[in-house]
Amino acid sequence: MDALPDARFTTAHPARVYDFYLGGKTNYAADREAGAEVLAVWPGARHAARVNRAFMHRAVRTLAERGARQFLDIGTGIPTEPNLHQVAQSIAPESSVVYVDKDPLVLTHADALIRSEPRGRTAYLQADLVTDVDRILDEAAGTLDLDRPVAVSLVALLHFVPDAQGAHDLVRRLLAPLPAGSALVLSHGTGDFDPTVMERVAGIYRGSGIGAQARSREEVAAFFTGLSLLDPGVEVPHRWRPDHTDLAPAAADFDAQVAMWAAVGVKD
C-alpha cells in the first residue's frame, strides 16, 4: 500500500475523532488532540458517541422490522461492529447497504463494510455529501433500486455541515428523488442544553479545520419537513425507543452530557 499523505496524519477528521471517543485505534495525533480538547470542555462527548451508536442500531432495527430493505449510510466513519449492514441483515438477510464517507482512511477498512450476508449486498463509495450529492445517488443506484424505498442514515454528520454549506438543502436533494416509504435516520449535536459549551466545542472543531455547527431541536426537526416522524419524534438519542441493551443514564443531567437530538422520519 502506498504511504498515506501527510495531510491525513496532521489534519483532524470527524470520523477519526469519533473513533477516538469510542476508544478505537484508527486515529492519529491530530485527531486525539482535537478530541482531547473537546473532552476538556465537553466530557459528555464519549457518552454521546456511545449512545449515538446505540441509537443507530435501534433505528435500523426498527426500520428493518417495518420492511426497509435498502439503506444509504452517509458519513459511515471507521467501521465499528456491529456495522449498519450487520444490524439490518440480522433482521432481513436480503438487505442492501451502500456506505459513503469522504475520509480516504475509511476506504482502507471498507472490507469490513462489505462482508454481506449471501442474500444481501453491500458497497462502499468515497464521496463528500457537500459536493457529491448527485454522484452519491447515481453510484448508489448500482447497488440500490432507487425506485423502491431507501432509508438514508445521516448519523452524527450534519453538525459538520454549517448553514453556509446548505445542510437543509442537501437533505432535501437527497430525499427528493426517493419514493414514498423512504426514511431518514438522523442525529445531531445541539446547544439547547448548554449553548456556551457547544459553541466552544464547535470552535475547537473549526480550529482543527472541521466545519461545525450545533443546531436547536427546531432546526433539527426542519430536516424532517415533509416526513412523518416515528414516535417519539425528535428526542435525545438514549430515549429514542430504548431497549434492554441500553445502559442506564449515568447522572441526572445525562441529557445535557449527551447534548444531541435524534429522530427517524418516513416519506409520505
DSSP state of 24: -
Distance in angstroms (rounded) separating the CA atoms of residues 144 and 142: 6
CA dist 10 and 31 (Å) reads 8
- Chain segment 167-180, per-residue pLDDT in tens: 999 999 999 999 99
Q: Is the dihedral of CA 127, 124, 258, 190 positive or negative?
A: positive
Sequence-ordered list of residues with C-beta below 8 angstroms from that of 5, at least 6 positions apart, any chain = none
Q: By percentage, how much of the chain surpasses pLDDT 70?
A: 93
Q: Cis link prior to 82 (omega < 30° from 0)?
A: yes
pLDDT at 251: 56
User: What average pLDDT does the chain have?
Assistant: 90
Give the residue from 226, 53, 245, 76 showing the smallest Cα distance to 152.
76
CATH label of the domain that carries residue 232: 3.40.50.150
Q: Which of 129, 205, 208 is nearest to 165 (CA)?
A: 129
Task: Render pLDDT for 202-239 as a digit per residue (tens, 0 to 9).
Answer: 998 898 888 999 999 999 999 999 999 999 999 999 99
Q: Mapping DSSP to helix (H, G, I), strand (E, B) and coil, where does residue 65 land?
A: helix
Q: For position 90, what pLDDT does the model report?
A: 96
Amino acid identity at 27? N
Position 3 scores a pLDDT of 42
Number of domains in the chain: 1
In this prediction, residue 4 carries a pLDDT of 44
Q: Give the separation between CA 126 and CA 124, rounded to whole angstroms.
A: 7
What is this structure's pTM?
0.90
DSSP character string of 82-139: SPHHHHHHHH-TT-EEEEEES-HHHHTTGGGG----TTSEEEEEE--TTT-HHHHHHH
Helix, strand, coil distribution of the chain in percent, nearest 5? 40, 15, 45
Is the pLDDT confidence value at 247 over 60?
no
Give residue 137's pLDDT: 98
Domain assignment of residue 41, given as a range? 6-238+257-267
- What is residue 136's predicted lDDT score, i.e. its pLDDT? 98
Dihedral of the alpha carbons of 104, 19, 261, 38, in degrees to the nearest 10: -110
Task: Work out the burial of residue 141: count CB atoms within 10 Å of its CB; fewer than 13 is exposed, 13-18 middle, 19 or more buried.
Answer: middle
Q: CA 267: distance to chain centroid?
A: 19
pLDDT at residue 7 is higher than 50: no
Task: Tell me if 203 is assigned to some domain.
Answer: yes
Query: What is residue 151's three-state secondary structure?
Result: strand
Can you give the pLDDT at residue 21? 85
CA distance 255 to 94: 36
pLDDT tens digits along 102-138: 988 787 777 777 888 888 999 999 999 999 999 999 9
The confidence band for 246, taking pLDDT boundaries of 50, 70 and 90, is: low
Percent of the chain whose predicted confidence (pLDDT) is above 90: 65
Query: Is 217 a domain residue?
Result: yes
Angle between helices 14-21 and 45-65 (to 10 degrees): 100
**Has residue 247 been placed in a domain?**
no
pLDDT at 6: 43
Per-residue pLDDT at 245? 62
Contacts of 70 (CB under 8 A, 6+ apart): 95, 96, 97, 144, 145, 148, 149, 150, 151
Point out the least confidently predicted range of 13-22, 81-90, 95-104, 196-205: 13-22
Q: Using CA atoms, how far apart are residues 157 and 136, in angstroms rounded to an integer?
A: 15
